[in-house]
Amino acid sequence: MAGDAGVLPLKKVWVVDGAAAEADVQAQAQQVRDLGWQSVTVFPPSAETRQSWVIVGEGFAVG
Amino acid sequence: MGAQAWRAAGTAALMLVMVLLGGCRSPALVGAPEPLMTADELEASLKPYLGPDVVTTYQGKSGADQTNYRDQVIYARIAVIDARFKAFLTGLGVESKSFGIGADAAVIGLNTGSVLSGGETAKNILSGLAGAVTGIKGSVDKNAFYDQTVPTLVSQMVASRREVLAGMLGKMQTANYTLVEALIDLEGYEFAGSFAGALQQIGQKAGNQLQVAEARLQQLATTRLQASDVAPDQIQARAALAGRIQGLTGPQAIAAVKQAATLPAFSATVQQAQQAGADPASETGARALLKLLLSDAFASTGTLAQLTGIINGVSAP
The reply to whether B187 and B210 lie within a common domain is yes
Residue B230: how many other CB atoms lie within 10 Å = 25
ipTM given for this complex: 0.92
Q: Which residue has the higher pLDDT, A24 or B146?
A: A24
Number of domains in chain B: 2
Q: What is the pLDDT of residue A18?
A: 94
Helix axis angle, B3-25 to B101-117, nearest 10°: 150
DSSP letter string, B164-218: HHHHHHHHTTSTTS-HHHHHHHHHHHHHHTSHHHHHHHHHHHHHHHHHHHHHHPE
The reply to whether B243 and B187 lie within a common domain is no
The reply to whether B300 and B183 lie within a common domain is no
The reply to whether B152 and B252 lie within a common domain is no
**B218 touches A at CB < 8 Å:** yes
> For the segment A29-63, what is each residue's pLDDT rounded down to a tens digit?
999 999 999 999 999 999 888 899 999 999 999 97
Q: What is the pLDDT of residue B210?
A: 64
pLDDT range class, residue B65, cuts 50, 70, 90: very high
* Cross-chain CB nearest to B279 (options A2, A12, A57): A2
Residue B6 pLDDT greater than 60, yes or no: no
pLDDT range class, residue B214, cuts 50, 70, 90: low
Residue B67 lies in a domain: yes
Instruction: Give the residue from B164, B187, B214 where a domain finishes.
Output: B214
The reply to whether B23 and B122 lie within a common domain is yes
Residue B17 pLDDT greater than 50, yes or no: no
Q: Which domain holds residue B280?
A: 227-315
Report the alpha-carbon distance of residue B313 to residue B158 in Å, rounded: 63
Distance from CA of A15 to the nearest CA of B (A): 5
The reply to whether B192 and B256 lie within a common domain is no
The reply to whether B128 and B94 lie within a common domain is yes
* Cross-chain CB nearest to B284 (options A11, A60, A62): A62
Q: Which residue has the higher pLDDT, B70 or B154?
A: B70
- Indicate the pairing of strand B223-225 with strand A6-16: parallel
- Is A36:A43 a contact under the CB 8 Å cutoff? no
Q: Give the burial string for B147-173 (b: 16+ CB within 10 Å, else e).
A: eeeebbbbbbbbbbbbbbbbbbbeebe
Most B CBs within 10 A among A10, A22, A32, A55, hence the mutation to make, goes to: A10
Instruction: Judge residue B80's burial from the number of C-beta atoms within 10 Å of its C-beta, 0-12 exposed, 13-18 middle, 19 or more buried.
Output: buried
The reply to whether B162 and B241 lie within a common domain is no
Helix axis angle, B149-171 to B195-216, nearest 10°: 90
The reply to whether B111 and B38 lie within a common domain is yes
**B47 touches A at CB < 8 Å:** no
Number of domains in chain A: 1
The reply to whether B165 and B208 lie within a common domain is yes
How far is C-alpha A18 from the chain's CA centre? 15
Residue A1 lies in a domain: no
Residue B17 lies in a domain: yes
Instruction: Give the residue from B214, B248, B268 where a domain finishes.
Output: B214
Report the alpha-carbon distance of residue B137 to residue B164 in Å, rounded: 12
> For the segment B95-115, what is each residue's pLDDT rounded down to a tens digit?
554 555 444 444 444 344 333
The reply to whether B16 and B154 lie within a common domain is yes
Q: Which domain holds residue A56?
A: 6-62
